[in-house]
Structure 1
Amino acid sequence: MIAFDNSFARLLPQMFTPQAPIPVRAPQMLAVNTALAAQLGIDTDWLASDDALQVWSGNAVPAGAFPLAQLYAGHQFGNWNPQLGDGRAVLLGEVICTDGIRRDIQLKGSGRTPYSRGGDGRAWLGPVLREYLVSEAMAAMGVPTTRALAAVATGEDVLRETALPGAILTRVARSHIRVGTFQVHASRQDIPALQALTDHVIARHYPDADGVPALLSAIVAAQAELIARWMGLGFIHGVMNTDNMAISGETIDYGPCAFMDAYNPAQVFSSIDRGGRYSYANQPGIALWNLAQLATALIPLMPDPDAAIEDFTTRINRFSDIYQAAWVQVFGAKIGLADPQIADAELIQQLLTLMAQDGADFTNTFANLAGPQAQDQFTDRDAFAAWVADWQKRRAPDHAEIMARANPQIIPRNHQIEAVIAAATNDDMAPFHALLAVVTRPYDPPVGTRAPFAKPPTAQQIVTATFCGT
């Protein structure tokens, strides 16, 4: 079965609450990730059994697991909330994977916990399928991310604006520790818990970090590189609260997330982001703001707080340079540069400006940039031709090969995800599996599948808002 451990459960008891998942009435397996299961060392024959279904539905707790709900706090849209926590998820435990890395296995949508704050602790089918598709697409594109191991229908409805089919996602992550996990213990002046958490994170994620300052620098670098990867895909997380930023440097909590179709730096999809705080262009700045909150939470561990503030400020401010260097590497590869330099940012930005002016499709512009059809994305073709002339002087001789490795042909587009959810709500999972098959091969989709899945939405298909599902 599964060789569970739970090192987080060996930390201080005030950091979590033991919590079993709440059983459901009539579970049914919707999707299971056999390739990921193999990486986790899970027997794939067992994975298809009824015993596995009972585990992924929360109806059975496997031997060795220690289910718990983690405590954390966070800034939500900039506003401090002193206690949050896993309100609809339980961490079953951890496994040592075939690559030697310890990973969490968590059930999301598994029922109420002490941190549910009046919620039902459940998830409905739509957000479960959205997270499954987007997280697996991100993994296929090489972005650090949580993964989807299984999706199970519960056989029970959940009430949102109306009754909707319930579901549970089995999520895998290097850990579920967040910036907000540090914040809650710092805000309570619980130094033993803060120290235990810090030691745990260093040992688990950043073993080369020699102390708190080095840990902060390592997290800053990981986040800067992660956000640069998001930007290179036109990805918008949607809810970059401090409780949604994973210390491991993985993308976590795919709620109202989305990929852009037409390029617009101010693009927002989340229905609750009315002020555009978490727009595409704001993501690097928000990541920096979140890291400043982490630094603040770590100061109580330092013997000289005043000196720590000065040192931590310097370390946090390195984010911008690290991010800019990573951004140039990401976008430099997207336009076929063999050795991108900071000076290339101007050439890249000129293209992005043209794309914004003409509403060019983000994914298709880069996927087709090496071919003659690229000009079809632009209404001002003279301006684009002038840019191409400058680009040709800089691009590598093997630019087409570089770009093919850097530019996905397929992303899980909003309108396609919504169509999948609509079909699944009517008991048709075939569209989900069809979309999953192509978004997990973004650079070399199966023959004959690229055209329909690469097509942008029609005016009637455009999705203007996405939702958390809570």
Structure 2
Amino acid sequence: MNLPAGEQSPAVEGLPSFDNSYARLPESFYARQPPRAAKAPQLLRLNRPLAAELGFDPASRTDAEWGAIFAGNAPLPGAEPLAMAYAGHQFGHFVPQLGDGRAQLLGEVVDTAGRRRDIQLKGAGRTYFSRGGDGLAALGPVLREYIVSEAMHALGVPTTRALAAVTTGEQVMREAFLPGGVITRVAASHVRVGTFQFFAARGDVDSTRQLADYVIARHYPELQGHATPYLALLEAVSARQMALVAQWMSVGFIHGVMNTDNVSIAGETLDYGPCAFMDSYHPDTVFSSIDQAGRYAYAQQPRIAQWNMARFAECLLPLIDADKDAAVARATEVLQEAANRMESEWLAVLRTKLGLQRDEDDDRQLIQQLLGHMQAQEADFTLAFRALADALEAREPMEVPALTSVFAEAGALAPWLAQWRTRLAREDADSAETAQRLRAVNPRYIPRNHQVEAVITAAVERDDFAPFHAMVETMADPFTEREAAEAYATPPQPEERVTQTFCGT
């Protein structure tokens, strides 16, 4: 199967041509929905390099014109706005109909590298799926998603991207009246595990098959013509999910809401609600205010990724084999392999963070011992790994400020450091080369929660967006140490710690 046939929209100077394959699927897949016009939109930030990739010419229009476009006030030629239908397990409980309650997919463009990408507005008003909500977004969550999604991109983690942020000139009622905003999000697509669940829950095998064929054509074309394409699809999607979550773990990222409606079939990080990065390392760390039981805690993320893939497998069973028992047996094999892959992906990224290029049987123990020291001493996750390069280069690691400032009892780490150096000696690289490699994979700067909150406070309470722009620009290069950015490498003081984050719905 190829993507549903259609024609690209005519070219308009400074704007990309749309080719909206999802809008050509049956109307049971979505509800057509134009954005709601904002009262007084103003462009806050345009991601100019990304805009150019997508076929926009940032110089072709004024900030006021871009603000109108990315608030939804000025329709883009060729766009076909719609709200996508999907279901989902939310904290383990199945909801048969969710859908885009505050997002409109404008359409798809083929970028300068030949990649098909969705452009979506989030926070531009009610849709068919809003379920009584206002469909709007407060400015704070818009800023958080812009900062964190672009930081994740710079960290090399597959993610949706932020194209633009605007203020709407209106107030949004949450726990109080807050300024409103709209974020324009770019994704490989917005098809989710929950999209499959929407049709599977209704027993609509034909639509499930049509969706699977669409996903294969769009995201996994190498599976076209496969002897068992739907089983292969389960395997391919699971592989991407395991690799993605391993990368989250490697940078101390906690998604916060790993519901099946937030799991991208394309393998990108999707929906930055109450997400956060760890400061002090602890495997049970939770930030999301709605995750009371710790279901989506840092160390639970690999297990939940496997659970989510089991829900995806359930949707595909009728396509895998007409004999349900046979389908279950074949899918179970794939899921068991996914669990093994999760372990190997996690080991691979943690080995890389330690400068190890070859696999050895005792590497897992070496990694766990370091994590144990970090937990016992409440070491900062990001800075602890970053300090390894300095420790490797020093004759006396216990005198390295980067190390002694992170570990309260750095001397307790000495036996582990000796063991690590012995392990590195079996690699085909000298210390200088390894240290360089360590600094290229262990970031110096992450969007720390207390600093993100300070950015939001400045914007919401003082209409001051300079901290927002400064943080976005710093996070674009998280690996290169520079004096002007050092404030962003500073962990919070006890009184600055942010212990809860909120989704902003």
Q: CA deviation at 1:33?
A: 0.1
Query: In the alignment, residue 405 of structure 1 is paired with which amino acid?
Result: A
Counterparts of 2:489 and 2:359 in 1: how far apart (Å)? 27
Query: In the alignment, residue 129 of structure 2 is paired with which amino acid?
Result: Y
Counterparts of 2:50 and 2:335 in 1: how far apart (Å)? 35
Q: CA deviation at 1:342?
A: 5.1
Q: Is the 8 Å Cα contact of residues 42 and 64 (structure 2) preserved in structure 1? A: no
Counterparts of 2:437 and 2:86 in 1: how far apart (Å)? 42
Q: What does residue range 313-328 of structure 1 map to in structure 2 within 5 Å? A: 313-328=332-347
Q: Is the 8 Å Cα contact of residues 42 and 68 (structure 2) preserved in structure 1? A: no
Q: Is the 8 Å Cα contact of residues 190 and 264 (structure 2) preserved in structure 1? A: yes
Partner of 1:12 in structure 2? 26
Partner of 1:223 in structure 2? 241
Q: Deviations over 1:278-311 (max 9, x none)?
A: 0000000000000000000111223222111100
Counterparts of 1:316 and 1:165 in 2: how far apart (Å)? 45
Instruction: Out of 417-426 and 188-197, give the one that drifted further.
Output: 188-197
Q: Deviations over 1:23-80 (max 9, x none)?
A: 1100000011001111112112135454332220011221111000000000000001
Asked if residue 358 in structure 1 is aligned to residue 394 in structure 2, the reply is no
Asked if residue 95 in structure 1 is aligned to residue 109 in structure 2, the reply is yes
Relative to structure 1, the CA distance from residue 47 to residue 245 in structure 2 (aligned partners, 3 Å threshold; closer, same or farther) is: farther
Which secondary structure does the structure 1 equivalent of 2:130 belong to?
Answer: coil
Counterparts of 1:310 and 1:318 in 2: how far apart (Å)? 13
Counterparts of 1:47 and 1:267 in 2: how far apart (Å)? 45
Q: Is the 8 Å Cα contact of residues 318 and 327 (structure 2) preserved in structure 1? A: no
Which secondary structure does the structure 1 equivalent of 2:100 belong to?
Answer: coil
Q: Is the 8 Å Cα contact of residues 328 and 341 (structure 1) preserved in structure 2? A: no
TM-score by length of 2: 0.91
Residue 291 (structure 1) aligned to one of 283, 303, 309: 309
Partner of 2:440 in structure 1? 405
Q: What does residue range 219-258 of structure 1 map to in structure 2 within 5 Å? A: 219-258=237-276
Q: CA deviation at 1:273?
A: 0.3
Partner of 2:467 in structure 1? 431
Residue 500 (structure 2) aligned to one of 445, 458, 465: 465
Residue 130 (structure 1) aligned to one of 144, 152, 172: 144
Residue 36 (structure 2) aligned to one of 19, 22, 28: 22
Q: Is the 8 Å Cα contact of residues 263 and 362 (structure 1) preserved in structure 2? A: yes
* Cα RMSD, aligned residues only: 1.1
Q: Is the 8 Å Cα contact of residues 328 and 342 (structure 1) preserved in structure 2? A: no
Instruction: Out of 263-272 and 400-409, give the one that drifted further.
Output: 400-409
Query: In the alignment, residue 490 of structure 2 is paired with which amino acid?
Result: K
Instruction: Out of 302-311 and 117-126, give the one that drifted further.
Output: 302-311
Partner of 1:155 in structure 2? 169
Counterparts of 2:239 and 2:187 in 1: how far apart (Å)? 19
Q: What does residue range 8-407 of structure 1 map to in structure 2 within 5 Å? A: 8-46=22-60, 48-209=62-223, 210=226, 211-301=229-319, 302-341=321-360, 343-371=362-390, 372=400, 373-395=402-424, 396=427, 397=430, 398-407=433-442
* Corresponding pairs, count: 469
TM-score by length of 1: 0.98
Which secondary structure does the structure 2 equivalent of 1:267 belong to?
Answer: coil
Which secondary structure does the structure 2 equivalent of 1:17 belong to?
Answer: strand
Q: Is the 8 Å Cα contact of residues 438 and 449 (structure 1) preserved in structure 2? A: no
Q: Is the 8 Å Cα contact of residues 104 and 120 (structure 2) preserved in structure 1? A: yes
Query: In the alignment, residue 468 of structure 2 is paired with which amino acid?
Result: F
Instruction: Out of 411-420 and 389-398, give the one that drifted further.
Output: 389-398
Query: In the alignment, residue 267 of structure 2 is paired with which amino acid?
Result: G
Which secondary structure does the structure 2 equivalent of 1:436 belong to?
Answer: helix
Instruction: Out of 455-464 and 390-399, give the one that drifted further.
Output: 390-399
Q: Deviations over 1:430-469 (max 9, x none)?
A: 0001111111110115x32332110000111100000000
Which secondary structure does the structure 1 equivalent of 2:76 belong to?
Answer: coil
Partner of 2:396 in structure 1? none
Which secondary structure does the structure 2 equivalent of 1:318 belong to?
Answer: helix
Q: What does residue range 441-460 of structure 1 map to in structure 2 within 5 Å? A: 441-445=477-481, 447-460=482-495
Counterparts of 1:239 and 1:35 in 2: how far apart (Å)? 29
Which secondary structure does the structure 2 equivalent of 1:166 belong to?
Answer: strand
Q: Deviations over 1:119-148 (max 9, x none)?
A: 000000000000000000000011000000
Which secondary structure does the structure 2 equivalent of 1:169 belong to?
Answer: strand
Query: In the alignment, residue 289 of structure 1 is paired with which amino acid?
Result: W
Counterparts of 1:422 and 1:115 in 2: how far apart (Å)? 31
Counterparts of 2:322 and 2:242 in 1: how far apart (Å)? 28
Q: CA deviation at 1:339?
A: 2.0
Counterparts of 2:16 and 2:158 in 1: how far apart (Å)? 24
Counterparts of 1:424 and 1:381 in 2: how far apart (Å)? 39
Query: In the alignment, residue 331 of structure 1 is paired with which amino acid?
Result: L
Query: In the alignment, residue 455 of structure 1 is paired with which amino acid?
Result: T
Counterparts of 1:420 and 1:47 in 2: how far apart (Å)? 28
Q: Deviations over 1:363-402 (max 9, x none)?
A: 0011111222213322333330000000001124232022
Q: Deviations over 1:262-283 (max 9, x none)?
A: 0010000000000000000000
Which secondary structure does the structure 2 equivalent of 1:105 belong to?
Answer: strand
Which secondary structure does the structure 1 equivalent of 2:483 belong to?
Answer: coil
Which secondary structure does the structure 2 equivalent of 1:93 belong to?
Answer: strand
Which secondary structure does the structure 1 equivalent of 2:170 belong to?
Answer: strand
Q: Deviations over 1:388-417 (max 9, x none)?
A: 000001124232022111101000000000
Instruction: Out of 81-90 and 299-308, give the one that drifted further.
Output: 299-308
Counterparts of 1:424 and 1:406 in 2: how far apart (Å)? 32
Query: In the alignment, residue 384 of structure 1 is paired with which amino acid?
Result: L
Q: CA deviation at 1:83?
A: 0.4
Q: Is the 8 Å Cα contact of residues 333 and 340 (structure 1) preserved in structure 2? A: no
